[in-house]
Amino acid sequence: MVRRCIYCGTETDLSKSDIIPDALTNGKIINPNVCRVAHNNKFSDMFEDEVISKLAFITNELDIKSSKGNQYARYAANVIVDGTEYTTKMNADTDLFNKKIMRSVDGKSLIGPMDKIKKMKGIDYGKVTETDINQIEIEKKVSIDMGVFFGQKIHRLAAKIAFEWYCLNNNVTSKLSAFESVIEFIITGEGTDPVQIIGKEDIYGLINQMSDLGNHSLFSYVAGDGSVNVLVSLFGIVIYNVRICDSIIPECPYNAMFLTINLDAKKTGFKSVSKKALEQELQKGFQQVGMFNGFQVMCPCNINDNSMTCKMLYFLSSVYDANLPFNDESAEELIVVIKKHLNKVLNISALTIRGLKRFVNEHKGNIEKGIVFNPYGTNMKAIFTFYLIFATGIAENQIHSFEDLSEFVRTKFAGKEIAISEELCNILQKEMMESEHYSDIIKEGAKSIEEMRFD
């Protein structure tokens, strides 16, 4: 059978489209039925690049690297050193001061490596002072343009992701007329906008139960009015509902599907024809292993099937098929919802193996010299991450793998979600500083983390 572009129907020059742009995820999913120029490359300029650059701080914090440049995204930030505020575009906290010269917001001061400052013309050496830069003391202010979550461009991106994923799973290999409306919106930005931002907390609750914070998730369902929809959750921060078409079409039998991609690129999901079919799969997936006080005891047949929980949650919930996608929250209320998830996601990001390895790598020089903490440190995430390295370095803790470390964190902080607060960081920093050889312990911990492997 001839394969054609799902947007325009051409047979020529098909290419592999990254369903979720490469710069937004560590784990690829690909739709091979998209023509190269008009409906793959051009989308970058039309809407993808702008969204990607506005989300740069989030992808950077979550340790997502674009495979093209093989580097973390740069983002705009203000940093405060000794009471003076400087504006910069940055990549990593540690390369702030050793690469370039920054100008202060008031225009009166410059800061940078001494050798570079000395090479500048017209410098009055009497006014140059040396500052000891301790990463942990630097206060960093990043403002995220919340408008990015509401713009037409992110709607087009969400619609593109939903549409290409839905087509991939239903083996769509040509342009179908039922999708005309969603296609028009993706490729021109005109026509009826099929995308709505979700404000309902129970939908976020459901997706967050089926995935981890920081994941991208896709969730297809048939709504109460018979329409086919896909929920697109970006990082667990914001969820969009995309209406794919008005009713189920014969070419697309699969309508109860789920996929989640975590920050270490692992994927979990399932694909089922309908909620009813999923129910039958669930029944087959369990076997009776005995009776207990008159109750049947059921066990999953395949304990390695980690999609089982997702299937159960999908089946048991009905929040999505009743009155979605309509919501009555105002833009202000939606911003509150998104900000709340954003803060949670940025807090957990230290807890991926990718994040830890990157941190160790970026702070390698200081760790080898011997970390000296400033008791008035303000960079909470850095303190928390140093604490994880410190804990790994203590031999009695027996932390040899990322699983060991996760287990330690679960026990120590009692729970999956950790609020990195100033209070907590003060306690952790004190605990480290009370230990006599803490810089050696951190050195040991860093060595172990460098040796840990992704599974």
The residue (of 11 and 201) whose beta carbon lies closer to Zn ion is: 11
Q: Could you tell me the smallest distance in angstroms from the CB atom of residue 162 to Zn ion?
A: 17
The residue to which tokens 């994040």 are assigned: 355
Q: Give the closest residue to 233 by CA, choosing from 263, 271, 203, 278.
A: 203
Is 135 in a helix, a strand, or coil?
helix
Nearest distance from C-beta of residue 15 to Zn ion, angstroms: 10
Please choose, out of 22-30, 32-40, 248-256, 408-416, the segment that lies near Zn ion by the rule CB under 5 A.
32-40
Choose one: 35-43, 101-109, 329-337, 363-371; the region binding Zn ion (CB under 5 A): 35-43
Q: Is 172 in the site for Zn ion (CB under 5 A)?
A: no
Q: Please, what is the minimum distance in Å from the beta carbon of residue 38 to Zn ion?
A: 5
Q: Does 240 participate in binding Zn ion (rule CB under 5 A)?
A: no
Torsion of CA 352, 359, 29, 204, to 10 degrees: 50
Q: Is 144 in the site for Zn ion (CB under 5 A)?
A: no
* Rounded CA separation 61/352 (Å): 11
Asked if 8 is part of the footprint of Zn ion (rule: CB under 5 A), the reply reads: yes
Distance separating alpha carbons of residues 223 and 226, to the nearest angstrom: 5
Give min distance, CB of 36 to Zn ion, in A.
8
Task: Note whether 206 binds Zn ion by CB under 5 A.
Answer: no
Q: Can you say whether the dihedral through the CA atoms of 81, 83, 87, 93 is positive or negative?
A: positive
Given the complex with Zn ion, which of 30 and 148 has the nearer CB atom? 30
The distance from CA 312 to its chain's CA centroid, rounded to whole angstroms, is 24
The reply to whether 5 sits near Zn ion by the rule CB under 5 A is: yes
- Contact assessment for residue 213 and residue 345, using Cβ atoms and an 8 Å cutoff: yes
DSSP 46-73: IIIHHHHHHTHHHHHHTT-EETTTTEEP
The yes or no reply on residue 341 touching Zn ion (CB under 5 A) is no
Establish if 179 lies at the interface with Zn ion (CB under 5 A): no
Nearer CB in complex with Zn ion: 38/146 = 38
Distance CA(199)–CA(335), nearest Å, equals: 9
Task: Tell me if 25 sits within 8 A of 216, measured CB to CB.
Answer: yes
Q: Confirm or reject binding of residue 35 to Zn ion (CB under 5 A).
A: yes
Residues 37-56 contacting Zn ion, CB under 5 A: 38-39
What minimum distance in Å lies between the beta carbon of 179 and Zn ion?
Answer: 13
* Closest to Zn ion by CB, 37 or 414: 37
Nearer to Zn ion, 16 or 118 (CB): 16
At CA 328, angle to CA 327 and CA 329, rounded to 5? 100
Question: Hunting for tokens 């690829």 — which residue is that?
Answer: 28
Binding residues vs Zn ion (CB under 5 A)? 5, 7-8, 35, 38-39
